[in-house]
Structure 1
Amino acid sequence: MSETTTSMTDAERDEQDRLILDSVDRFLDRHVRPVALKLEHDDTYPDEIVERMKELGLFGATIPEEYGGLGLRPSTYAKMIERISSVWMSLSGIINSHLIMAFIVTKTGTEEQKAAFLPRFATGELRGGLALTEPDCGTDLQAIRTVAKRDGDDYVINGSKTWITNGIQGSCFALLVKTDPTAQPRHKGMTMFLAEKGPGFKVSRKLEKLGYKGIDSAELVFEDYRVPADRLIGGVEGRGMACAISGLELGRVNVASRGVGVAQAALDESVKYSQQRKTFGKPIHEHQAVAMKLADMATRVSAARLLVQQAAKALDRGERCDYEAGMAKLFASEAAVENSLDAMRIHGGYGYSKEFVVERLYRDAPLLCIGEGTNEIQRIIIAKRLIEQNPV
């Protein structure tokens, strides 16, 4: 954290954050809301919007100021992601995967790696994400089979990754590999590299999705791909799993914030429609069945937002927050799914139409229950930490 940041009073920092969030709101209203529906339906990458995001400094949102970033606290970043996701969730993924990579470098990279990469990440000159998942392993990261072997001043990498956000448009990735496939326990043989596209690094195909459109998800293939040894994050083999876990804490707060944004958007659309639509001579919000759905939707949004802020503030303090982030991600993503379905029911047949936003929310929301660790895994993590905190 920079000297400028640490010397700010809480009131000054809060005011700075408010101004940044206000600028994000203006950007969304002017440049995203009018075109989101068409870009999403056409599954078109939002090049012009991305350029404006670069101008706003959003690719450096959580990167420390001394490296050219905005230096936002995770709690402020969470509010920003909620706003973006309430308008078009796909945009949040374009910066989230990128900022997870930057977060990993900030927390575990060498000083040379921070100086070389973070300023380029902050401007968006170098963009990318996190390359963890493989065709035969998702949640069980220790089962990855991509291997890196030392060869002089380089490592030679062979293997493949799948469901990689920004895989086509991105140019640099935090790549999880095994440098010792025989290590026991398995995580001790895992290492992470900063891998820029080049010879041997291929995008094999774009993956088509139910929702979350406009952002590219891809399969990546590595065939005798050479990466300099100084790109090994942290400079020491065997710390790849720790790097991934540190990044996923921020990632889970991000996904939880997306859940709040989608749930809020579903509520907003439903409140508006329930006042416009009339049946049996009165607005439908006056019917008890609709009123009860609105009440449940509003309660879910508020509860999810509080859980997200609890997790984000733990990150602000630099504390371990897998327990809090797991609960936030679990509850907020389920709230998004439930609210999107309730919104569709409130809208009736119109909710099933591509002309209405709720149809997109209904397709986007399920991803949140799967991404950054399934909700089933979150429940296991929460229970494990609960027992650790309450020994007999």
Structure 2
Amino acid sequence: MRAVRLSVVTAAATAAALAAVTGCTQKSDAKNGDAIQVTAADSKCETSTKTVPAGQVTLKIENKGSQATEVEIVFPDDRIVSEKENIGPGTKYTLTAEVKAGSYEIACRPGMKGHGVRQKLTVTGGKVAKRDPRLDKAVASYREWAQSEADSTIPKVKTFADAVKAGDLEAAKKAYAPSRVGWESTEPIAESFGDIDPKTDTRADGLEKGQKWTGWHALEKALWADKKIGDEQKALAGQLVTDLTDWQKRVGKAEITPTSMANGAKELLDEVASGKVTGEEERYSHTDLSDFKANVDGAQKAYELLKPVASENDAALTAELDKQFAAVNKLLDTYRTDKTSDGFVSYDKVGEADRKGLLDAVNALAEPLSKLAAAVVK
């Protein structure tokens, strides 16, 4: 779950110019080591250049503000090309992306809410080197997999919604976690559209001023905390099906590149560290470990598809990633049970020491995973 984002506006007029790159290895000619220097603060977003050539672009980000920020490369209609969330105060991060000629913005979002502070970025044309065909295959396979995850999610969401509409509290609780698995595994794609995630997966503390609380977590609170289903919840269940059907239809049109796959895998691990391990995501149902596993599975899927190229460019990195993915999955298996609908122990039964162990395992995987994007475009 991410912070709320502004709704996407009509993109028809700019779609042709703003299509994501389908093949490139040319690097930016921006100053300071072929990178755009991005300085984020509580009320500013400064960039070292406003123009780069099409191809690979690297953002060297430094957060000089007092709160965590999010930095994104976005289309004017607010679709995301690439992003990095949860950049803490005083920390730095390198983001690698691929862009085609057109108009973009670099957005810094202090507190990870709202429209943020933005700088325009013009990507000029030019000769772009042909991309490794294995990476094109990886993108196509990832898109096909993401679509299958979305397609399989809708029946599960309908089962959940039907239980809510029937007023069957226990059946709704049982169907809740399974309805979220496909979404959690492909969440970077959902977030790239901008307007779907706020309607379906926002927690109460992520709401913008004046935003109505809808989606899974509003229903989660009603089922577990309030222990009641009323007309409002039945309406929310119907709206959830509508919103997620919209997501299902859009998956095939998502902007996907090898670097967005790699960055998305890292973002899924960040989701685990910031919401699942802490217990904040599923604070009422305590089904966090189901989400946790789905996030890891989604990250691993992207990695496995990119691995043939990444292993040639950085064998040591892929060896470490293999090791750390295996370690995280082995640890998660120790929390499996057949006694709950989602197959894992209730997260409120996981003590602080065990949560620390989970966080350590996630961090051990996230660190090498942050280098995957650079490895696939060497």
TM-score, structure 2 normalization: 0.27
Q: Greater share of helix residues, 1 or 2?
A: 1
TM-score, structure 1 normalization: 0.26
